[in-house]
A and B are shown apart, each in its own frame.
Chain A
Amino acid sequence: EVVLTQSPGTLSLSPGERATLSCRSSQSVSSSYLTWYQQKPGQPPRLLIYGTSSRATGIPDRFSGSGSGTEFTLTISRLEPEDFVVYYCQQYGNSFISFGQGTRLEIK
């Protein structure tokens, strides 16, 4: 099973700053199969980025993804107040799906 480890667990920043969230895999993941979600309290996750770097429909361009192999990154260029929630990465490989444990973005 592929294990995804997200860091940091909690990231404290201010609105307007740049956020860099990391997702590290225990095995190499195809770039086509790495996904990022945003989850607000009491809501289901929302698809942000798929295929490592493709933004989903309606996602602002301040969200971007990058990476390859075992290291992937979600970057939020200028934080808006509504961005301070939880983010998950997800991978697919060999008929198995796994999620990272999540990174919580909090207002400093």
Chain B
Amino acid sequence: QVQLQESGPGLMKPSETLSLTCVVSGDSISSPYWWSWVRQPPGKGLEWIGESYFFGSTNYKPSLRSRVTISVDKSKNQFSLKLTSVTAADTAVYYCARGIRGGRPFDVWGQGTMVTVSS
């Protein structure tokens, strides 16, 4: 059974860089899937942040592209998100998810990690 587990800082200050990691178990990160990050502000809907394929190809949401980097670490079977210059608007539950090639239906999700940006 494939499982994803996010980890991150929890609480951050404005202007800092958010770093999140998603550990993949039960599958190889080199399998033919796209590995994505999705976030959900409290009480609001889902927002796709970006994705990475195992060999390094990436796609990002245009409005976040200048601040986002998603990378895959095959040696640790995990992938990561870096988001620079965070503000209160980046406060959200961050999910990692596995996307199937083609239409990217996300068939496996992590439980999510809450990130709060506050001074």
Give residues in A with beta carbon < 8 Å to B.
1, 30, 32-35, 37, 39, 43-47, 50-51, 56, 88, 90-92, 95-102
Contact = CB atoms under 8 A, between A and B. Distances in A.
A33 B59 contact: no
A44 B40 CA distance: 10
Q: Which of B51, B62, B109, B111 has its CB near the most chain A CB atoms (within 10 A)? A: B109
A34 B104 CA distance: 9
Sort chain B's interface into a size bin.
20 to 34
B103 A30 contact: yes
Contacts of A97: 36, 48, 51, 61, 99, 104
Interface string B90-103: 00000101011011
A51 to B, nearest CB: 6
Contacts of B107: 47, 56
A72 to B, nearest CB: 12
Contact of A47 (B95, B105, B111, B112): B105
B8 interface: no
B48 A98 contact: yes
27 contacts: A1-B62, A32-B103, A33-B102, A33-B104, A34-B103, A35-B103, A37-B106, A39-B46, A44-B95, A44-B110, A45-B46, A45-B95, A45-B109, A47-B105, A47-B107, A50-B100, A51-B105, A88-B45, A91-B103, A92-B102, A92-B103, A96-B61, A96-B62, A97-B36, A98-B48, A99-B48, A101-B45
Nearest to B50: A97
A32 B102 contact: yes
Contacts of A33: 102-104
A67 to B, nearest CB: 14
Contacts, number: 68
**Interface majority SS on B: helix, strand, loop or mixed?**
strand
B66 to A, nearest CB: 16
A74 to B, nearest CB: 14
Contacts of A95: 59
Given A50-B105, A99-B46, 4 more contacts: A43-B111, A90-B105, A96-B59, A102-B45
